[in-house]
Amino acid sequence: MAPLLAIAAHAGAQEATVLDGFEQPGGWAASASDGVAAAVDVAGGALALRYDFRNVSGYAVARRTLPIAWPDNFVLTLKVRGTGGINDLQIKFTDADGSNVWWIPRPNFRPSADWQTLRLRPRDVEFAWGPTADKRLRSTRAVEIVMVRGRDGGAGTLEVDDLRLEPLPMPGPLAEPTASDPAVLDGRQETVASLTGPLLVDLGGLRELGGLALDWAPDSASAYTVEASDDRRAWRLLRTVEDGDGARDLLPMPDTEAAWLRIVADRPARLAELAVMPREWSDTPNAIIAALAKEAPHGTYPRGFTEQSYWTLVASDGGAVSGLIGEDGGIEIAKGGFSIEPFIIDGEQVIGWAGVDSRRSLEDGYLPLPHVTWAGPGWTLDTALTADQHSPRLLARYRLTNTGTAPRSLTLALAARPFQVNPPAQFLSQQGGVSPIAGIAWDGSRLAVTAPPALAGDPAVTRQVVPLVAPQDVAARPFDHGALAYPAAPDGASEVSDPAALASATMRWTVALAPGESFDLPVVLGDEVPADAAAFDAAIARTADYWRGTLGGVALSVPADKQAVADTIRTALAHVLMSREGPALKPGTRSYDRSWIRDGAMMGDTLLRLGRPEPVRAYADWYGTKLFDNGKVPCCVDARGPDPVPENDSQGEYIHLVTQLYRYTNDKGALERDWPRLDAARRYMDAQRLSERTPANQVPGRRMLYGLLPPSISHEAYSAKPQYSLWDDFWGLAGYKDAAFAAEVLGKPDAAAIAAQRDEFAGDIHAAIGAAVEHWDIDYIPGATSLGDFDATSTTMALDPAGEQARLDPALLDATFTRQVERVLGRQAPDAEWADYTPYELRNVSALVRLGRREEANALLDAYMADRRPPAWNGWAEVVGRDPREIRFIGDMPHAWVASDFIRAALDLFAYEDIGAGRVVLAAGLTPVWLAGEGVRITGLRTRWGTVDLTARERDGAFEMTVSGTAVPPNGLAVPWPLGGTPGTATVNGAPTPANNGTLILPAGGSTIRWAPASP
């Protein structure tokens, strides 16, 4: 008789209810997003959803009213079949008014020609969005079957039949194991017993499980199988283990249900302990690793599995090569790819990231060539990474140095491990964490690391790691052999395949170093290998020179106390350029691996100010091809095409983008070519605002909505429920202003009509702000007139690019930004209560400069600068948490939109465009700290009216400034008094010149200024 292990469970189930047998037509209706075709019919006893994604992203929906009262535990089944490529299947349930949505997403779904049954459990149902605080699935009103454009798009048909809901009893907990045979131990005994036949594990009924943990005695169970059964008669193979090493075997079995398990070894074996792992243990590969990391010694696994980690992008200009380096020295060799992690072996001690002091730096303080330097007892290890600008490869250099006074023998171990540097808490476009490795092979000079196919039918991807100095040994091991628990271990093979796709390999170099001596190890991550170390070094030097030239178009010299700001401006420009993918400007390369017109328009302004119009032109040309036929501007575009989600700032942003290009390049021909799309976006936007300019929105309680753009989710805080966001309206007004300007430049006959629309919309916005202030009884400008919420960062758009500062109530403006200053600086208090914020807030620095509040602007800038993580890499994530080590979603690092926000805020200290006044304002953000010593010098800064060069400093109590460049703004240049006290009469080009309310107005052209305080 086979040994038996029993595990208790509750029994009993109720009869399944047929929710829809699809025997009768009617009840189902089709809908689709912009540019997508959809139709439904019920024939042959099944629902057919026919769709065609054409050349856009979007969705096709079949919907019907179907009230459901959900039991606590259930299995929902439906049969599906169809035609078409790989797309995303979503099954959605909505409440009575449709505002709260629960869904079952099935990404990368390919319908088969034959019926397949989907079995869906409560864990498969997620709360998708909505304003409710109670996100439990209790009752819903309608059901939707949705096909969403995925990898393939195209046209197809999805048939659905036999939708059933079967209530189930709640499963009981796993009981303490009991043995019916002494050969099977329950984990509480310390002796090891023999196992001579199959081991049966009774799960006490059908239940979900996550896998097994088997602890074998040494030299036991070299090969065995694990099988499952629902009835102890029919068995199905779950896992085969070959060449076991007689230790702990962890066997993930995600999405497994069984009533019985059977373990059959190829020969008598000794089992010390068996544990049935809960379902959650293998929900995802990340869940498995997180569970292991929690129990392992600190530093065994990458930091991101146990605490928040940080990293930076290392890529070529344009993004053709894209890797990451982590704060602890791990290198992600490609987007979503595996990592190379260093370890030092000193005698018997294996030292990883947790056992050293680490320092981060950039070449020259600003070039996007990062370093991580470990300091150990008597040695340092410097890890540097470069994305070769002239060849598709990453170049890593490891420099191990003996810093002691005696000779040392040390071993450098580099482990290829199935982890991204992008940590597991990061998701959206790409899930961070585990990067599967199915196989590794060392051929004597290259380590070939193979990832399994992303989807069935796809090819496997093999990437090369090529050290230019051969290691003494290479050891590859599968997950089953404990590879991840001992990342620097020497035992293994030169080639390995891993069914768990969690293989790893270690290369080792043992070197004897005299005091002060270094061992240099160049490593190429890619197929094109330099001839030797000299060629390797030359490639890095060429890339460094490329970035020095690219980032030096605007020259900036500042006092030492402000050097970090100047360095970060240059690095942030690199972050914008590296985050691109061809012509597409993107906020990130992992989580935000798509292009938003919102981000692109603002990054475009940044690039234009820094003298880089070419990427902006390429982006505008590319994005212009993505507009919908009705003139709607997609909020974003990715590999699937333009996204139809309505974000009503998009039209204004696209118009602004192409109009700014004309302002900075004077290319009238390009503006003429852009006009049809620009005007189509304007006409679509005009229809939007008129849809809200109705009598229904003139009644009390709704006047703050009249004439505004419709509710949308362009503001992230409004994703649960669309709102009348003033962010949209300020961008829309900027779009109207730019459209009117473009029409006038091009001599369009409807220029006057567009100007009238602009003025009418502006009047409606200001009236709505006043109505909202009264309705909500607030003393600030709200983020959304429909909420009365506070969001100063949205309000910054009213100043730039909308140029409405002069028309806004000064008291409201003052209260809005005073509250923002208090909030930001209040975070610095030790007892401050806040969790996180987004550094998009950097726009408030620009707003405060425009409001003449230079000291507060600099205080905010200092606060935001302190939240670069790590500071030496000059970048921000999208989210900054109060506790730097609390795991959270933080978005891409660096976040290129945040980088562009920083650049604009920092440049505005030196010069900004006062759009409403038609002037360039100089030195409005410079405080005495900036003006100390030799002060500041900036050359080559672009404006819409030409270039600005200036020097400024304080000398002998007076403000001295020189201004030159080609800028010819309509109403001249303005210089507000930057020092304390009352300004006196200035000398401009040797002639006394009075100030007007503390501001000098200068003509275009060169000027030399000396401006002293008034005499007491």
- Pull the structure tokens for residue 593: 């691996």
Q: Among 601, 703, 607, 592, which residue's Cα sits nearest to residue 651?
A: 601
Q: In what order do the strands lie in the sheet with 595-596?
A: 595-596, 636-638, 641-642
Per-residue pLDDT at 894 = 97
Which residues sit opposite 40 in a β-bridge?
A: 49
How is 892-904 classified by DSSP, letter by letter? -SS-HHHHHHHHH
Band of residue 857 on the pLDDT scale cut at 50, 70, 90? very high
Clarify whether residues 186 and 275 are in a common domain. yes
Q: How far apart are CA 942 and CA 609, in angstroms?
A: 5
Is residue 241 within 8 Å of residue 251, measured between CB atoms? yes
Contacts of 969 (CB under 8 A, 6+ apart): 913, 918, 919, 920, 943, 945, 1004
> Partners of 119 in the beta sheet?
77
pLDDT at 62: 96
CA dihedral 147, 148, 150, 154 (to 10 degrees): 60
The encoded tokens of residue 329 equal 């020295």
Report the share of the chain in percent with pLDDT over 90: 84
pLDDT of residue 166: 94
The residue among 969, 1004, 970 whose CA lies nearest residue 989 is: 1004
What's the structural domain count of the chain?
5
CATH number of the domain within which 773 lies:
1.50.10.10
> Would you state the pLDDT for residue 194?
59
CB atoms within 10 A of CB 966: 13
Per-residue pLDDT tens for 468-503? 999 999 999 999 888 898 899 888 999 999 988 999
What's the mean pLDDT in 76-98? 95
Q: Report the share of the chain in percent with pLDDT over 70.
A: 96
Report which of residues 171 and 521 the model is more confident about. 521
Extended beta strands in 173-247, E state:
178-179, 193-195, 199-216, 224-229, 236-241
Contact 5, 184 (CB under 8 A): yes
Residue 239 CA: distances (Å) to CA of 76, 216, 501, 637: 27, 16, 13, 41
Same domain, 587 and 499: no
Residue 220 pLDDT greater than 80, yes or no: no
pLDDT band at 1 (very low <50, low <70, confident <90, very high): very low
Tokens standing for residue 677: 């799309």
Contacts with 299 (C-beta within 8 Å, 6 or more apart), sequence order: 352, 353, 354, 355
Query: Tens of pLDDT along 221-232?
Result: 778 899 999 999
Confidence at residue 5, expressed as pLDDT on a 0 to 100 scale: 44
Determine the pLDDT at residue 271: 80
Q: Are 330 and 501 in contact (CB under 8 A)?
A: no
Q: So what's the pLDDT on residue 185?
A: 32
For residues 844 and 860, the answer to whether their CB atoms sit within 8 Å is yes
Of residues 410 and 22, the one with the higher pLDDT is: 410
Q: What phi and psi, each to the nearest 5 degrees, are found at residue 257?
A: -125, 140
What is the reported pLDDT for 7?
42
Distance CA 504, CA 507 (A): 10
Any domain includes 288: no
User: What DSSP assignment string belongs to 812-855?
Assistant: HHHHHHHHHHHHHHHTTSTT----EE-GGGGHHHHHHHHTT-HH
Vertex 976 angle, CA 973 and 978, to 5°: 135
Q: Collapsing DSSP states into helix, strand and coil, what is residue 27?
A: coil
User: Which strand ranges, in their side-by-side order, compose the sheet holding 126-129?
Assistant: 29-32, 59-69, 139-148, 87-94, 101-109, 126-129
CATH number at residue 255: 2.60.120.260
Task: Specify whether 228 is located in the same domain as 257.
Answer: yes
* Same domain? 232 vs 378: no
182, pLDDT greater than 70? no
Cα gap 612→937, rounded to integer Å: 20
Mean pLDDT of 643-672: 97
* Per-residue model confidence as pLDDT tens digits over 703-747: 999 999 999 999 888 998 999 999 999 999 999 999 999 999 999
CATH number, domain of 342, equals: 2.70.98.40
User: Is 45 a member of any domain?
Assistant: yes
Extract the tokens encoding 1013. Answer: 């305080």
Of 234, 237, 204, 216, the residue nearest 4 (C-alpha): 204
Q: Tell me the one-letter amino acid at 851.
A: L
Domain region containing 40: 17-167
Q: Are residues 817 and 702 in the same domain?
A: yes
Structure tokens that stand for 933 in this block = 């010593």
Compute the distance between CA of residue 583 and CA of residue 657 in angstroms, rounded to an integer.
14
Instruction: Answer whether residue 926 shows pLDDT above 80.
Output: yes
Whether the pLDDT of residue 268 is over 90: the answer is no
Beta-carbon count within 10 A of 18 CB: 11
> Is the pLDDT assigned to residue 202 strictly greater than 90?
no
SS3 of residue 430 by DSSP:
coil
Residue 111 within any structural domain of the chain: yes
User: Are 599 and 607 contacting, i.e. CB atoms less than 8 angstroms apart?
Assistant: no
Closest CA to 371 of 403, 337, 397, 389: 397
Clarify whether residues 813 and 739 are in a common domain: yes
Q: Kindly report the CA angle at 333 between 331 and 337, in degrees rounded to 5?
A: 110
Angle at 563 between CA 561 and CA 568, to 5 degrees: 135
- pLDDT tens-digit series, residues 619-635: 999 999 999 999 999 99
Flag whether pLDDT at 199 surpasses 90.
no
Asked if residue 879 has pLDDT above 50, the reply is: yes
pLDDT at 4 over 60: no
Q: Distance of alpha carbon 462 from its chain centroid, rounded?
A: 25
Which amino acid, one-letter code, is at 582?
A: G
Beta bridge partners of 156: 51
pLDDT-derived band at 9, boundaries 50, 70, 90: very low
Query: What distance in Å separates the CA atoms of residue 736 and residue 655, rounded to the nearest whole number?
Result: 8
Cα distance between residue 245 and residue 489, in whole Å = 14
Residue 317 reports pLDDT greater than 70 = yes
Average pLDDT over residues 238-263: 86
Distance CA 767, CA 498 (A): 66
Least confident of 250-259, 625-634, 813-822, 993-1002: 250-259
| Boundary residue ending a domain (889, 907, 932) | 889
**Looking at per-residue confidence, does 96 or 884 come out higher?**
884
One domain for residues 266 and 402: no
- Residues forming beta bridges with residue 895, ordered by sequence position: none
pLDDT of residue 172: 60
Whole-angstrom Cα Rg for the chain: 32
Least confident of 325-339, 399-413, 471-485, 546-560: 471-485
Strand partners, 155: 52
Task: Report CA-CA distances (Å) from 669 to 72, 665, 737, 745, 942.
Answer: 64, 11, 20, 11, 21
* 105, 193: one domain: no
Residues 591-618 have a mean pLDDT of: 98
Shared-domain flag, residues 501 and 632: no
The answer to the question of residue 977 being in a domain is yes
CA distance 333 to 416: 10
Residue 119 placed within a domain: yes
Lowest mean pLDDT segment, chosen from 8-12, 526-530, 589-593, 839-843:
8-12
The reply to whether 157 and 197 lie within a common domain is no
d(CA 799, CA 850): 8
Q: Which residue has the tokens 């969005």?
A: 129
Element of type H or E holding 465 = strand 461-467
Whether the CB-CB separation of 715 and 736 falls below 8 Å is answered with no
Question: Do the domain assignments include residue 909?
Answer: no
Residue 180 has pLDDT above 60, yes or no: no
Taking phi over 0 as left and psi of -120 to 50 as alpha, with beta for the rest, 451 belongs to beta
Most confident of 19-28, 190-199, 204-213, 671-680: 671-680
With contact defined as beta carbons under 8 Å apart, do 301 and 289 qualify? yes
Specify the 3-state DSSP secondary structure of 657: helix
Pairing, β 269-277 against β 193-195: antiparallel
- 68 in the same domain as 206: no
Residue 700 and residue 806 in one domain: yes
pLDDT for 183 equals 35
pLDDT at 14: 67
Examine the fold and report which residue of 117, 146, 167 is the final residue of a domain before the chain moves on: 167
Smallest CA-to-CA distance from 626 within 609, 648, 614, 642 is with 642
Helix (H) or strand (E) holding 963: strand 958-964
The overall longest dimension of the chain from CA atoms, in Å, is: 110
Strands 919-922 and 973-976, bridge-based pairing:
parallel
Residue 10 Cα distances to 174, 212, 258, 384, angstroms? 10, 21, 14, 57
Domain boundary among 257, 283, 309: 283
Identify the residue with better confidence: 169 or 341: 341
> Would residue 647 count as lying in a domain?
yes
Sorted by sequence, the CB contacts under 8 Å of residue 384 that are 6+ apart come out as 369, 370, 371, 396, 397, 399
Q: Residue 325 has which token pair?
A: 């380096």
pLDDT higher than threshold 70 for residue 776: yes
Burial annotation 821-844 (CB, 10 A radius, 16+ → b, else e) = bebbeeeeeeeeeeeebbbbbbbb
Task: Enumerate the H helices of 170-254 as residue ranges.
Answer: none
Residue 552 inside a domain? The answer is no
